Amino acid sequence: MSDHSHAQEHHGHDEHHHEQSFISKWVFSMDHKMIARQFLVTAIVMAFAAMIMSTLFRLQLAWPDEGFAITNWILGDKWAPEGIMTSEIYLGLVTIHGTILVFFVLTGGLSGTFANLLIPYQVGARDMASPFLNMLSYWFFLTGAILMLGSMYLPTGPAAPGWTIYPPLSALPEAMPGSGMGMTMWLISMSLFVVSALLAGLNYIITVLNLRTVGMTMLRLPLTVWALFVTAILGVLSFPVLLSAVLLLIFDRTIGTSFYLSDIYINGQPLEHMGGSPILFQHLFWFLGHPEVYIIILPALGIMSEVIAVNSRKPIFGYKAMIGSILVIALLSFIVWGHHMFVTGMNPFLGSVFVFTTVLIAIPSAVKAFNYITTLWRGSIQFTPAMMFCIGAVSTFITGGVTGIILADAALDINLHDNYFVVAHFHIVMGLSAILAMCGGVYHWFPKMYLRMMNKKLGYAHFWLTFIAAYGVFFPQHFLGLAGVPRRYYTNSSFPIFENLGSIEEMSTWFSILGAAAQFIFFFNFFYSMFRGDKAPKNPWGSNTLEWTVEAGHHHGNWGAKLPVVHRWAYDYSKPGSKGDFIPQTIPLAAGEKDGGEGYH
Amino acid sequence: MITLLSWAVIILAVLAAVRLMRIYELSAELRGGKPQWEITESDNRMNAVLMMVFAIAFFAFCFWVFFITKDKLLPLAASVHGAQTDWLFNFNMVIITAVAIITNFCLFYFAFKYYKGKKNDAATFFPESHKLELIWTVVPGIALTVIIFLGIKLWNNITAPAQSGAIVMELYAKQFDWIARYAGKDNVLGKRYFRLISDTNPMGMDPTDMAGNDDIVVRSEFHIPKGKEIDFKLASRDVIHSAYMPHFRAQMNCVPGMTTSLHYIPTITTEEMRKDPQVIKNVKEVNEILSAKGEEPYEFNYLLLCNKICGNSHYNMQMNVIVEEPEQYEVWISKQKTVGESMTALLTVPIADENRKQIDALIMEKK
């Protein structure tokens, strides 16, 4: 370890004298901090697009018979004649909204931003293990993102079989217009995305394992790094499976193979494909797809751990239990995928195994939630906007998490599968928790990213409006599900039985408009503070972790001539006998003082 | 032009916001004091109080939504296992609602109580407690064991094979409607083959399979008798659909290239369900809305709907399910034409020799 850091020191030293050109500094940068900002800004743009899409289809769901000028303005006469969207574009919007948020915002955006920013900073490294692959990862990501958004402009519309792209619907252009060119672009975009995720993930893993500074043992790592590290492992193990599923689908679409297709008669003729199984795709897809939701939520939980501990001015409660939970969740996440497929006709015995493993995952999740709450208990809570977002994320993690126990129960899932109960569940537990924690992370680390401070009052306004709107949109949707309303319906008006649920749909839509409007406060605060915010001090929140020991100013290589040396865990807040209420990791242990990471008992 | 104007308005609004922000910041600086981003005690107090206000408002909102919707939810389950499903759902719901309320309350209450201020300037150093951690690993562990046990028991019960003697019928999905087929007197479904599908033979019934002769094919609605087990075989001819019959708490995907199945015993006839107070109330509400729109009044029916995205008209792929007393059902079914009756017409009239040869070739190929 010490040899390695020595070599790094020289590398870092040289970097200081080396002037970077505009292109190598701002565009094709290999600096992890710049790449983190590139990921973040790209994710914000993508999230904005996905948010506009969701607002449009919420309008459609609440008032299916009414035209809206804004719908027509955004979608044009082809897709929204007289302001009423067509069912093709409705499904397209739903699909692209889901794809963007799951992959481009909450996977690429969340991990890309915070793993890039925090892993090298918090382990005390000059940069990622391979800055070049890191840069490549961003450019693959951006290319994928552009293709995905670009597919909205195709004359046949974007891919529209839902973000899970189940064949045969996604395999046959005859089945729907979106399964033509739109689907092709979706598949290319996703392949690029997987390449990006793999390049990034390998880099994160190697950096955490090999580039920790002197004294930074695994049990002194902040929980952010633990979460991002395990997330990267999940990604590296599961994304290749998605890529293979996508490749087989491409073969079925182009060269006439029959991996997923058999016995199909469509558009007036029988197809030649024989012997394939559409269910095979679902197994491959969810083998990624379920770890994927933990790829989304673990970094969010990592951010929450750090922000809640710092702003409670207390050590995170149960540090080792938190690491244990992360590991157990990661392990279990690989053996629960079948709970997405209870009604595909799978063997009932297999179903009961998946019930068992899925319900089991509630235990480490509950441990995490209880630990957050105990961290608040008898704390001295500083309500920074970041802290508020993270408290909000704990709340949504609980509220959305408990309904997961219902859906994990195969017998109950039969009636709720694919209806609005599921939509409410996963938006709250995964969507909201991750987005709220991501916002928290942005407010918390903005000073490290842009060397300026965001506006506090706008942050408060953003939080309260977002939080109220978030629950307002999704909580009522549980009841739509319990009334039997299926998801991905363009309108409920073909079923008179759903007619008197209109007021619930409208409530959900009004809150979604409020939520979307609140994000403009954030966009304004973000871009304004980037240029005009107050200059950030070195350690504005009084944190222990290493990123706050870096001098202000962005230079490739992070620390000066010497890398920091770590002497303690990251959570010595309000430690009895210490002077201030925090002790940075670089302060040596006093005589007889025990290190928290090694345990107190 | 309108687009251009809209953009101009948006850009002007952003510029105005930037100027306003600048003025606000300058005036704050003039008043002196700390940088804007530092968290003051009054910030903490305000947000702490708001956390508590939010908690109360949130719980109130959740219960309010529950009370305004509870009569609009699915009525009483109309099948034997559906009633068991509802019981288990309610049981789990009580547990998770209690957990969600208690933990959310602790979260917001601690946030409210322990804000940093003069009175609470130092946090308590409390990094771990093995006893506490053990308690909240073991207690959920026990609760979840009960949930898993009850869940798997019911799941095994629902997915066990149908009793012999159950009425066999097929639900056949295609973009964008359903076809229902009864196995007829022999209770055996005749074979199908997708290459035999034509406009006049939409399911691709094999005319050479005698088991199919007494099958009965119906569209737009199918009838089933109360108290008898129905063994549904599910299939699709194009993409994946999902046969969802919410009132019976039943659902299963229809997958091209394979047969799936589900079975249930209906317990409430359509007529009986129409007299259920909750159904009456809902139908009244729906009819008020429909008459305001100038549409036909609605009468309650059990539904089969598609619950797996299947294309542009996914939202409108439905069939009515009529549950009747067994005697009424017998009368209804005896009036339906069998495939044999309609197939003879089909095979003799429109199919000339050449087509006939094609069909034979296909049947040979299949064998």
What is the Cα Rg of chain A in Å?
24
Structural domains counted in chain A: 1
Q: Is A21 left (phi over 0), alpha (psi -120 to 50) or beta?
A: beta
Kindly report whether the peptide bond that precedes residue B176 is cis, defined as omega within 30 degrees of 0: yes
Going by C-beta distance under 8 Å and a sequence separation of 6 or more, which residues neighbour residue B69?
A476, A479, A482, A483, A501, A504
Structure confidence by residue, pLDDT tens digits, B180-200: 999 999 999 999 999 999 888
Nearest residue on chain B to A495, alpha-carbon basis: B316
pLDDT, residue B208, reads 83
Neighbours of A17 (CB within 10 A): 6
pTM for the complete prediction? Answer: 0.94
Residue in A366, A384, A575 closest to B140 by CB: A366
Structure confidence by residue, pLDDT tens digits, A264-301: 999 989 999 999 999 999 999 999 999 999 999 999 99
Structure confidence by residue, pLDDT tens digits, A371-404: 999 999 999 999 999 999 999 999 999 999 999 9
Alpha-carbon distances of A52 from A422, A492, A526, rounded to whole Å: 22, 22, 18
**Contact criterion met (CB < 8 Å) for A534 and B35:** yes
Residue B352, pLDDT > 70, answer: no
Q: Which chain B positions have a beta carbon within 8 Å of A312's beta carbon?
A: 114, 123
CATH number of residue A282's parent domain: 1.20.210.10
Residues 417-436 of A with CB under 8 A from B: 417-419
Residue in B39, B123, B156 closest to A312 by CB: B123
Residue in A363, A373, A398 closest to B110 by CB: A373
Give the residue with greater pLDDT, B293 vs A508.
Answer: A508
The string of DSSP codes covering A515-545 is HHHHHHHHHHHHHHHHHHSPBP-S-TT---S
Nearest of A286, A280, A296, A369 to residue A335 by alpha carbon: A286
Instruction: Give the distance from residue B158's alpha carbon to the nearest chain A alpha carbon, in angstroms.
Output: 7
The string of DSSP codes covering B137-158 is HHHHHHHHHHHHHHHHHHHHHH
The size of chain A, in residues, is: 601
pLDDT, residue A561, reads 81
Q: What is the CA A378 to chain-centroid distance, rounded?
A: 31
Q: Which residues pair with A100 in a beta bridge?
A: none
Q: How many Å from the N-terminal Cα to the C-terminal Cα in chain A? A: 29
Alpha-carbon distances of A272 from A276, A495, B40, B90, B194, rounded to whole Å: 11, 36, 71, 48, 11
**Contact criterion met (CB < 8 Å) for A363 and B237:** no
Residue with tokens 């005390």: A124
Based on the number of CB atoms within 10 Å of its own CB, is B149 exposed (0-12), middle (13-18) or buried (19 or more)? exposed
Structure confidence by residue, pLDDT tens digits, A400-455: 999 999 999 999 999 999 999 999 999 999 999 999 999 999 999 999 999 999 99
Considering all CA atoms of chain A, what is the largest pairwise distance in Å, rounded to the nearest integer? 84
Average pLDDT of chain B, as a whole number: 90
Q: Which residue range forms the structural domain that includes residue A513?
A: 2-598
Backbone angles phi, psi at A261, to 5 degrees: -125, 140
pLDDT exceeding 70 applies to what percent of chain A? 96
User: Is the distance from CB of A80 to CB of A197 less than 8 angstroms?
Assistant: no
Instruction: Give the distance from residue B136's alpha carbon to the nearest chain A alpha carbon, in angstroms.
Output: 7
Q: What is the mean pLDDT of residues A528-536?
A: 92
Q: Helix B80-113 to helix B130-159 angle, to the nearest 10 degrees?
A: 160
Structure confidence by residue, pLDDT tens digits, A182-223: 999 999 999 999 999 999 999 999 999 999 999 999 999 999
Structure confidence by residue, pLDDT tens digits, B250-278: 999 999 999 999 999 999 999 999 999 99
CA atoms of A420 and A480, how far apart (whole Å): 6
Residue in A176, A317, A494 closest to B316 by CB: A494
Q: What angle do CA A403, A404, A405 make, to 5 degrees?
A: 85
Structure confidence by residue, pLDDT tens digits, A235-245: 999 999 999 99
Percentages helix, strand, coil for chain B, rounded to the nearest 5?
Answer: 50, 15, 30
> Poorest-confidence range of A547-556, B149-158, B214-223, B296-305?
A547-556
pLDDT, residue B209, reads 86
**Contact criterion met (CB < 8 Å) for A351 and B155:** yes
Backbone angles phi, psi at A129, to 5 degrees: -60, -45
pLDDT, residue A554, reads 66
CA atoms of A542 and A534, how far apart (whole Å): 17
Residue with tokens 């993930």: A201
**Contact criterion met (CB < 8 Å) for B121 and A380:** yes
A510 — contact with chain B (CB < 8 Å)?
no
pLDDT, residue B360, reads 65
CA atoms of B131 and B138, how far apart (whole Å): 11
Alpha-carbon distances of A35 from A38, A136, A145, A205, B286, rounded to whole Å: 5, 10, 15, 17, 55
- Homologous superfamily, domain B167-366: Cupredoxins -  blue copper proteins (2.60.40.420)
Q: Which chain B positions have a beta carbon within 8 Å of A492's beta carbon?
A: 315
Mode of pairing for the β-strands spanning B167-174 and B230-236: parallel
Q: What is the mean pLDDT of residues B108-113?
A: 96
Q: Name the pLDDT band for A13 (thresholds 50, 70, 90).
A: very low
Q: Where in chain B are the domains?
A: 41-116+131-160, 167-366
Structure confidence by residue, pLDDT tens digits, B53-89: 999 999 999 999 999 999 999 999 999 999 999 999 9
